[in-house]
Amino acid sequence: MDLILEGLITAIKLLWALDPEVLGITWLSLKVSGIATLISVGLGVSTGMIVALTRFPGKKFVVSIVNTGMGLPPVVVGLFVTVFLWRNGPLGFLDILYTPTAIIIAQSVIATPIVMGISIAALQNLPNKLRLQILSLGATRMQMVLMLVREARLPLMAAVMAGFGGVISEVGASIMVGGNIKGYSRVLTTATVMETGKGEFAVAFALSIILLFLVFLVNYIFTLIQQRERPR
């Protein structure tokens, strides 16, 4: 209990003192995971929509691949991204291994199937004839897609939350491709792992509490957006 209490006090002290290192780590975590979530939403929702709204041979196979991707182990993603970005790897010329950009790439790979899988389920869950009804109102295809997205906005927002939650809390890929470099590529999860390893439990607790608070805050904002405009 003392450890937890000490962690709480340390966290408050670190935040109260606006510790530049902790603030830097927190900001980098938010930035990296935020960008990765945005990329995954862009890719996941659009491709999810194509998969959900079109008929093609092998659709079930594609959906099952996406669903498998929802449980992609971060260390496996970390391994593949590392190999791709390695100096001799196919994308080695980019020279971005052990940078925040590499973390964004790895986190995007983790979050995209999550967002895509939930988007597919959300859109397929809409009534079959809703598309026809929207078209019969005189909608163009683009208007139809936007109206379908609006209809599926609750589960789609859940997809965004799941994607963000998946990447802000992952550690394996971030540490493998980011390198946990102080002041450069250190994020909350990798810092927590490091501090725990060093036996600095109070600092580790402090970082965990900040991480939990951050996840709660972001999800609270998403929830407010998700639940707004709900008529009585």
Q: Which is nearer to another protein, 58 or 138 (CB)?
A: 138
Among 147, 157, 193, 215, binds another protein (CB under 8 A): 147
Among 13, 150, 182, 198, binds another protein (CB under 8 A): 150
76 near another protein, rule: CB under 8 A = no
Site for another protein in 152-211 (CB under 8 A): none
Q: State the alpha helices, DSSP H only, in the chain.
A: 2-16, 20-53, 59-69, 74-85, 100-124, 130-136, 141-151, 153-168, 172-178, 188-197, 201-227
135 near another protein, rule: CB under 8 A = yes
Cα angle at 191 between 75 and 108, to 5 degrees? Answer: 40
Residue matched to tokens 């080695």: 92
Residue 154, token pair as written in the block = 């609750």
Amino acid at 19: D
**How far apart are CB 229 and another protein at their closest, in Å?**
7
23 near another protein, rule: CB under 8 A = no
Q: Is 57 left (phi over 0), alpha (psi -120 to 50) or beta?
A: beta
Q: Which stretch binds another protein (CB under 8 A): 43-51, 56-64, 123-131, 184-192?
A: 123-131
Where along the sequence are the contacts to another protein (CB under 8 A)?
127, 129-130, 132-133, 135-140, 143, 147, 150-151, 229-232
